[in-house]
Structure 1
Amino acid sequence: MKKICCVMAGCAVLAMLPLTAFAYPIDVNKQLNGLKVDYNAYDTDADIGSIQVNNYGDTDVTCKVVFNNGPEAPRTRKIDVPAGKHKNATAKFTRTIIKLRIDLTCTPK
């Protein structure tokens, strides 16, 4: 009986702890140049942002992704996405992200 009371008390304490959420707004400025490309942006962590680039076309594409988090220097990533595939790009910042701006520019390879 004592074990059950301790387990129940432990669960009650855990239930009272606040859950931390690190959701922040993400703005994506895209220049797809008529290509069949789509994206999904994610708030991976409080200081990490990522984007998944999906290529639905018949030609391979090269994409330049620029992550901007205000006062810090922008992080630039270049990814090659084969036809019918997807690739991810990620950037880690030294500060907590309040608002993330992503510039996505894709051109045919």
Structure 2
Amino acid sequence: MKKLCCALLLSLPLSAFAYPTEVETSLNGTEVSYETQDIGDSMGAVLLQNYGKQDVNCTAVFQNGPETPKVRKTLVPAGKTSNLTVSFGRAIIKLRVKLTCNPA
């Protein structure tokens, strides 16, 4: 039994490797903060927090190497959060995100 437990523990990864994420922002005077998240090998996300007093329209363009860029849009109400997620067909090596936010 002890050997089985040891074998299971050794088969688990010792550390999780995250891919690098580059974010280019154009917030246009809005009070929005962002946090990138890696969900898995082929998925990524950006969590948006609106600290302002008015709603904000945000657009994120996610790009992973040679794949076609994927566009996600959201309206972030004042004082609320919104999550933009994307899934690619290949494992992400480096994720590039262009985030543009404008007052609604």
TM-score (ref. length: structure 1): 0.90
Q: State the match for 2:89 in structure 1.
A: 94
Q: State the match for 1:9 in structure 2.
A: 3
Q: State the match for 1:83 in structure 2.
A: 78
CA-atom RMSD in angstroms: 1.1
Question: Deviation of residue 18 (structure 1)?
Answer: 4.3
Give the distance between the partners of 1:81 and 1:48, measured in 2 at CA.
Answer: 22
Give the distance between the partners of 1:106 and 1:22, measured in 2 at CA.
Answer: 30
Unpaired segments of 5 or more residues in structure 1? 1-5
Larger radius of gyration: 1
Q: How many residues align?
A: 103
Q: State the match for 2:57 in structure 1.
A: 62
Q: State the match for 2:35 in structure 1.
A: 40
Q: Structure 1 residue runs of 4+, over 4 Å off? A: none
Structure number with higher helix proportion: 1
One-letter amino acid of the structure 2 residue matched with residue 16 of structure 1: L
